[in-house]
């Protein structure tokens, strides 16, 4: 059994509770009956065992090239240490043997090979020393591969640590410059230059929990698959596995200029975090629960002059519903004219850092109206200039002020007189501070975690569930080249194909094995052929056939004629 497969198993990815038993008989693959004396499988003609030359070595992660005759895969066939490397198999023509080429030879597990669109490079994942990284290697000449370039450890890739929270896998090419991958939690696209060096990194999925201040851990987004449908990438559709069993809603935020009674542009904030989205807009994919939603307008963002202002409100998001938030901005802030003596003294405003007085009248603008604010003046008086008996005395004066709407209040403070030592306006003892970012305690109602297949629409920014639930564990989604069919492994025992345009579901029956009437197989890593007519998978022998080392059954690469082998669910 390969070391990487042990890692997958130990992580619980294969802990499917639902088993599918394929019963095979004379009448075909299915539950029509079992003949204990003889065995045939009429559906097996639709399956081809691709790697059949060395039965003792496992073969994982198939990826056919453009022609379909060449398949990249991961195997430990080049060593006796159970270390997987990247290999390429070129199928032989009639009367010719298949040819195998070892592409990598590191003393580390390497898997997830992915051909570039031009077929001259392969991206793959290497697990070494507790860390995962994605590499790109030139394979223009199979017998002489080029240099490997690590694309997930150089700038500008963030979080380059040995932490388990950054374990990039599942590389797939969107075009000759961009590679889609997951770091185990989030999904990214890395852009390469002509030398395959990373030059840009974008997070393409906004996790529904990104702006949630709660004790809920970040939801996992993994195993991404996508087809670029528009050259500029504006309509990418990304399918991925996530454990976020949450009810999704949306938040629509609108900002108004109350004086002119018209909409205005302001940046939307969620839980105090700027989103970069301007009003009016809908922020989709939110878990149900309570949110502090805000919008901020500055002088540069508005046609009229506004104070740099953040308004917030608390709203509830409900399942399959859109919560509406209207935030009204106006020139309602006031001004404090501070007339203080002497120059050189320092003042503080609501406990701010001290500011020196540089003018006879200092104007404090954009003051919240209708609430108490405290101004304090501080200075030092030298009672005597005698170096022996001289005394330094700290002087303070303070005032509590409430500014009406659109008004200017004059405040006079003076600390030049000795009798002002310790003077303070007693009415400011229990003053109310200005309402800056008033976050509220709230509960986030999250359902129990369960893996689901999700679709993110890059054009609309919407999320939707494609498949999952009912105790099943879907994994390894693979979208067809024409972006119409999604292959999904269920509980590591079944292969489903979902028509994403109609919602129809099909099951692809797994092949039997001569001499065995009841055959249970493990299946993983489906990938479509370039023409979309076949699906390549990693498939174990029947589970009652032990492996060559009496360990877990070893995988080989199989290929199925999808159209012929499918049956409706």
pLDDT classification of 287: cutoffs 50, 70, 90: low
Instruction: Name the CATH superfamily for 248-329.
Output: Immunoglobulins (2.60.40.10)
Banded model confidence at residue 90, pLDDT cuts 50, 70, 90: very high
| In 152-244, beta strands by DSSP E | 169-173, 178-182, 187-192, 198-203, 221-227, 237-242
pLDDT recorded at residue 322: 83
What's the pLDDT at 377? 87
Q: What's the mean pLDDT in 60-88?
A: 88
* pLDDT per position as a tens digit, 439-486: 333 333 333 456 789 888 877 777 788 888 777 889 999 999 988 999
| Fold topology of 334-428 | Immunoglobulin-like (2.60.40)
Residues 36, 483: Cα–Cα separation, whole Å: 43
The band of 22, judged by pLDDT with boundaries at 50, 70 and 90, is very low
- pLDDT digit string (tens) for 94-131? 888 889 999 999 989 999 999 999 999 999 999 887 77
Q: What percent of the chain has pLDDT over 90?
A: 21
**Alpha-carbon gap, residue 536 to 559, rounded angstroms:** 4
- Per-residue confidence (pLDDT) for residue 300, from 0 to 100: 54
pLDDT per residue over 335-371, tens digit each?
888 998 888 888 888 878 888 888 889 988 777 777 7
pLDDT of residue 54: 62
At residue 48's C-alpha, the angle toward residues 42 and 52, to 5°, is: 125
Q: Which of 67-71, 302-306, 559-563 has the lowest mean pLDDT?
A: 302-306
Tell me: pLDDT of 188 over 70: yes
CA 289 to chain centre: 20
Q: Where are the domains of the chain?
A: 3-244+446-568, 248-329, 334-428
> Does a cis peptide bond (omega within 30 degrees of 0) precede residue 325?
no
Put simply, whether the predicted model's pTM sits higher than 0.85 gets the answer: no
- For residue 198, pLDDT over 60 is answered with yes
Mean pLDDT of 528-552: 74
Q: How confident is the model at residue 396 (pLDDT cuts 50, 70, 90)?
A: confident
Collapsing DSSP to helix, strand or coil, 241 comes out as strand
Report pLDDT for 121: 96
With a CB cutoff of 8 Å and minimum separation 6, the contacts of 4 are 60, 74, 84, 109, 111, 127
Q: What does each C-alpha distance from 504 to 29, 318, 391, 451, 491 come to in angstroms?
A: 21, 29, 89, 20, 20
| pLDDT number for residue 323 | 86
Q: Tell me if domain 3-244+446-568 and domain 334-428 are identical in fold.
A: no
Closest CA to 153 of 201, 209, 207, 98: 201
* CATH architecture of the domain with range 3-244+446-568: 6 Propeller (2.120)
327 bridge partner residues? 255
Which of 247-261, 403-417, 495-509 ranks highest by mean pLDDT?
Answer: 495-509
Mean pLDDT (the chain, rounded)? 75
Distance CA 490, CA 113 (A): 22
pLDDT tens digits along 3-17: 444 344 333 333 332
Q: What is the pLDDT of residues 207-265, one digit of tens each?
A: 544 443 333 445 567 888 887 766 666 657 899 888 754 556 778 899 988 877 888 88
Q: In this structure, are residues 285 and 209 in contact, taking their beta carbons and an 8 Å threshold?
A: no
Give the mean pLDDT of 493-507: 93
* The pLDDT value given to residue 103: 96
């Amino acid at each position: 059994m390969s070391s990487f497969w042990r890692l997958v198993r130990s992580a619980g990815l294969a802990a499917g509770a639902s088993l599918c038993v394929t019963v095979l008989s004379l009448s075909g693959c299915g539950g029509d009956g079992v003949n204990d004396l003889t065995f045939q499988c009429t559906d097996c003609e639709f399956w081809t065992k691709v790697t059949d030359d060395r039965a003792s070595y496992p073969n994982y992660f198939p990826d056919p090239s453009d022609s379909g005759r060449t398949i990249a895969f991961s195997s430990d066939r080049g060593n006796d240490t159970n270390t997987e490397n990247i290999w390429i198999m070129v199928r032989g023509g009639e009367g010719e043997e298949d040819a195998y080429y070892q592409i990598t030879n590191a003393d580390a597990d390497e898997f997830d090979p992915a051909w570039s669109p031009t077929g001259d490079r392969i991206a793959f994942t290497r697990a070494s020393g507790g860390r995962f990284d994605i590499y790109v290697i030139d394979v223009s000449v199979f017998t002489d591969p080029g240099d490997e370039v690590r694309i997930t450890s150089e700038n500008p890739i963030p979080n380059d640590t040995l932490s388990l929270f950054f374990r990039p896998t599942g590389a797939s090419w969107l075009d000759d410059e961009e590679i889609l991958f997951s770091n185990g939690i989030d999904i990214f696209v890395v852009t390469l230059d002509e030398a395959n060096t990373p030059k840009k990194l974008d997070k393409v999925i906004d996790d529904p929990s990104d702006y949630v201040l709660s004790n809920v851990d970040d939801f996992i987004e993994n195993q991404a698959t996508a087809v670029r449908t528009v050259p500029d990438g504006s309509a990418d559709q990304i399918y991925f596995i996530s454990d976020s069993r949450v009810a999704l809603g949306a938040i629509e935020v609108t900002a108004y200029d109350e004086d002119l009674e018209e909409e205005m542009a302001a940046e939307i904030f969620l839980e105090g975090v700027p989103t970069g989205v301007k009003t009016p807009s809908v922020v989709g994919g939110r878990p149900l629960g309570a949110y502090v939603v805000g919008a901020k307008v500055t002088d540069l963002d508005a046609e009229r002059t506004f104070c740099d202002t953040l308004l917030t409100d608390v709203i509830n998001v409900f399942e399959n519903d859109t919560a509406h938030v209207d935030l009204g901005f106006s020139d309602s802030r006031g001004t404090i004219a501070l007339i203080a003596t002497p120059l050189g003294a320092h003042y503080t405003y609501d406990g701010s850092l001290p500011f020196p007085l540089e003018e006879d009248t200092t104007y404090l603008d954009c003051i919240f109206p209708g609430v108490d604010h405290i101004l304090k003046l501080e200075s030092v008086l030298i009672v005597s200039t005698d170096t022996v008996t001289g005394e330094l005395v700290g002087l303070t004066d303070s005032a509590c002020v409430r500014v009406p709407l659109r008004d200017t209040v004059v405040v006079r403070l003076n600390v030049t007189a000795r009798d002002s030592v310790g003077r303070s306006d007693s009415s400011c003892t229990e003053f109310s501070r200005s309402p800056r970012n008033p976050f509220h305690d709230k509960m986030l109602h999250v359902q129990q975690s369960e893996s689901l297949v999700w679709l993110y629409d890059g054009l609309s920014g919407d999320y939707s569930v494609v498949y999952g639930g009912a105790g099943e564990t879907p994994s390894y989604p693979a979208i067809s080249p024409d972006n119409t069919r999604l292959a999904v492994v269920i509980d590591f025992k079944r292969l489903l194909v979902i028509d994403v345009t109609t919602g129809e579901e099909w099951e692809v029956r797994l092949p039997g094995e001569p001499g065995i009437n009841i055959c249970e197989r493990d299946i993983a890593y489906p990938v479509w052929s370039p023409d979309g007519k076949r699906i390549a998978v990693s498939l174990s022998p029947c589970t009652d056939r032990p492996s060559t080392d009496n360990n877990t059954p070893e995988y080989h690469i199989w290929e199925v004629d999808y159209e012929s082998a499918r049956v409706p669910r």
